[in-house]
Amino acid sequence: MKTQDLLHYLNGYLRIDEIKDYGPQGLQVEAEKSEVHKIALGVDVSPAIIKSAAAWGADMLLVHHGILWRNVECLSGALGQRVRLLLKHDIHLYAAHLPLDAHAEVGNNAVLAQMLGVSVENWWCSPTNVPIGVVGHLHQPIPVTELVAQVNEKLRTQSRLLAHGPAQAERVAILSGFGADEVAEARKLGADTYITGESSHAHYWAASDYGLNVIFAGHYASETVGVQALGQHLTAQFGLETRFFDYPTGM
């Protein structure tokens, strides 16, 4: 597929130009290749991921966490190393942060809801100009410990449960990545159980204060699903070959 055609499609499908973020999203590093056949997928950009993608023969690395954020002033140090590696192997870097969290089909939160049997009723939590989290009812109430087991199995993680809500999970709020500071908002939405990624000591007591079950699945683990769903979409849509490169951080 022509690189420019793929970029045009991705930018439109992910609403790259509509959704404000903490840094420029979309194409972050442009290589020389005019065609893309193989797309490596990842959550982050690291030298190990770039080298693995290159060994596989990737033309593009598509990630959730790119390399351009606020206050980037020079391409040196660790950032320069990543850019040099990408250009050395002629690999485009494409990033979709909040646009991938917010997507109704392949977004992290929509996919998590589908995986766990949560019927999405509303979207919530707008760090910029669009909501990225979801909330809804489970297809049928289940013990919260069983929900934790499902999260662990499907995401290959070890979640931490703060069991301060009812024993049965029924209405669930989901916010991938860092959502420890949104416990109060999740409770306002009527959720009895809240699934997010990264925990925080500063917000530990909030779960108890609001009588809410909170499942911390890990920042990395909770954001592995979006890029994989997007890769499957691109394969079905254009026949492109995609592969997810899993480099868990345990965080």
pLDDT value of residue 70: 86
Q: For the residues 54-62, what does the mean pLDDT come to?
A: 98
DSSP 51-62: HHHHHHT-SEEE
CATH of residue 159's domain is: 3.40.1390.30
Do 114 and 206 belong together in one domain?
Answer: yes
The reply to whether 129 falls in a domain is yes
Do 174 and 215 form a contact (C-beta atoms < 8 A)?
Answer: no
The reply to whether 19 falls in a domain is yes
Do 111 and 206 belong together in one domain?
Answer: yes
| Share above pLDDT 90 across residues of the chain, in percent, rounded to a whole number | 95
The string of pLDDT tens digits covering residues 128-167 is 999 999 999 999 999 999 999 999 999 999 999 999 999 9
Does the structure show a pLDDT above 80 at 208? yes
pLDDT bucket at 73, cuts 50 / 70 / 90? confident
Do 200 and 118 belong together in one domain?
Answer: yes
Q: What is the count of structural domains for the chain?
A: 2
Cα–Cα–Cα angle for 72, 85, 243, rounded to 5 degrees: 105
Do 115 and 76 belong together in one domain?
Answer: no
The reply to whether 227 falls in a domain is no
Does the structure show a pLDDT above 90 at 71? no
The reply to whether 228 falls in a domain is no
Do 91 and 56 form a contact (C-beta atoms < 8 A)?
Answer: no
Residue 193: strand pairing partners: 172, 213
Do 92 and 26 belong together in one domain?
Answer: yes
| Mean model confidence pLDDT for the chain | 97
Do 121 and 84 belong together in one domain?
Answer: no
The string of pLDDT tens digits covering residues 7-38 is 999 999 999 999 999 999 999 999 999 999 99
Ramachandran class of 9: left when φ > 0, alpha when ψ lies in -120 to 50, beta otherwise: alpha
C-alpha closest to that of 71 among 79, 63, 61: 79
* Domain encompassing residue 166: 101-222
pLDDT value of residue 10: 98
The reply to whether 250 falls in a domain is no
Q: For the residues 92-103, what does the mean pLDDT come to?
A: 98
Do 126 and 70 belong together in one domain?
Answer: no
| Share above pLDDT 70 across residues of the chain, in percent, rounded to a whole number | 100
Do 112 and 189 belong together in one domain?
Answer: yes
Do 30 and 90 belong together in one domain?
Answer: yes
Task: Using the Cα atoms of residue 56, residue 250, residue 146 and residue 151 in order, give the sign of their dihedral.
Answer: negative
